[in-house]
Structure 1
Amino acid sequence: MLNTIVLIRTDNFDKALTALSDLVRYGGMKIRGKPRIIPPALSDWAFEQIVGEKPRKKVRAHVVAQVDLPASKAIGRIRDIHPPAHIVVIPVGTHVHKEILRLWGTFKELKGFHPPKEIKRPGEELEE
């Protein structure tokens, strides 16, 4: 099964790690595998393809991760939690998703990410 990809664009890798933790802790998402660092040019291209405009802000940290939710659910949850980074959801089946997966093995792993304990979202039961 293919996973939705999230592209995290922010000022530094500490903020990227915090954003990933927020996705797990407050967004109820599971990160599949290890998040990866991608080249800025690929990040800008993916952003432009998905969002439909060039990124206005230059950022230093470009990270991709695979999450266990469909794109529409992931987008809704990200809107609710306001992580400290710009996060673009890349749906399964798009040419951007295919290209990032094709290159996945060439990206360096993001060091220092350890999924936090999940916090129960309002109105949801915590899975054991």
Structure 2
Amino acid sequence: MRNTIVLVRTDNFQKASVALADLVRYGGMEIRGDPRIIPPALSDWAFEKISGEKPRRKFRAHVIAQVDLPPAKAIGRLTDIHPPAHVLVIPPDSEVWEELIRLWNTFEKLRGFHPPKRRKGEGGKKEGEGEF
């Protein structure tokens, strides 16, 4: 299965980490592998290709991560939570996705990000939870 990619655009890498943690904690998403830092120009290109609009704001931190949900479900979860960043969902059948995956290993890993453990009542049950 091809993972959906999320593009996080925000003011600094700490906010990007918080936004990714929110996707896990409140959005019930699992981040696959290590989030990566991408160049602002590539982020702007991806934004424009996916949204059909030119970016209106300049951000300093641009991070991509692979998540375990199909695009429509990821978008639905994003509308329920409000991470402290601009988050764009990039579907696996897009040109942008192909390019980001092709370049994936050339991007620097986002250091210091550790996905939070999901607690009961946050984004679904883990295997074995709540079953007697």
- TM bucket (normalised to shorter chain) is over 0.9
1:7 pairs with 2:2: no
Displacement of 1:2: 1.1
- Cα RMSD after superposing both structures: 1.0
1:26-41 alignment to 2 at 5 Å?
A: 26-41=26-41
Identity percentage of aligned residues: 69
Whole-angstrom distance in 2 between the partners of 1:70 and 1:114? 22
1:110 pairs with 2:105: no
Displacement of 1:125: 4.4
Displacement of 1:7: 0.2
1:21 pairs with 2:35: no
Aligned to 2:126: 127
1:82-121 alignment to 2 at 5 Å?
A: 82-119=82-119, 120-121=121-122
Whole-angstrom distance in 2 between the partners of 1:55 and 1:37? 18
Whole-angstrom distance in 2 between the partners of 1:78 and 1:101? 22
Structure 1 SS opposite 2:78: helix
Query: When the two structures are superposed, what TM-score results if normalisation uses the length of structure 2?
Result: 0.93
Consecutive unaligned residues of structure 2, counting only runs of 5 or more, are 128-132
Consecutive unaligned residues of structure 1, counting only runs of 5 or more, are none
1:64 pairs with 2:80: no
Query: When the two structures are superposed, what TM-score results if normalisation uses the length of structure 1?
Result: 0.95
Structure 2 SS opposite 1:88: strand
Structure 2 SS opposite 1:58: coil
Q: Count matched residues.
A: 126
CA deviation map 1:21-43 (0-9, x unaligned): 00000000000000000000000
Give the number of the structure whose alpha-carbon radius of gyration is greater. 2
CA deviation map 1:41-80 (0-9, x unaligned): 0000000000001110000000000000000000000110
Whole-angstrom distance in 2 between the partners of 1:54 and 1:125? 36
User: Could you tell me whether the CA contact under 8 Å between 2:6 and 2:67 is conserved in 1?
Assistant: yes
Whole-angstrom distance in 1 between the partners of 2:80 and 2:124? 18
Cα distance change on mapping 1:125 and 1:56 into 2, 3 Å: closer
Whole-angstrom distance in 1 between the partners of 2:124 and 2:8? 28
CA deviation map 1:66-105 (0-9, x unaligned): 0000000000001100000000000011000000000001
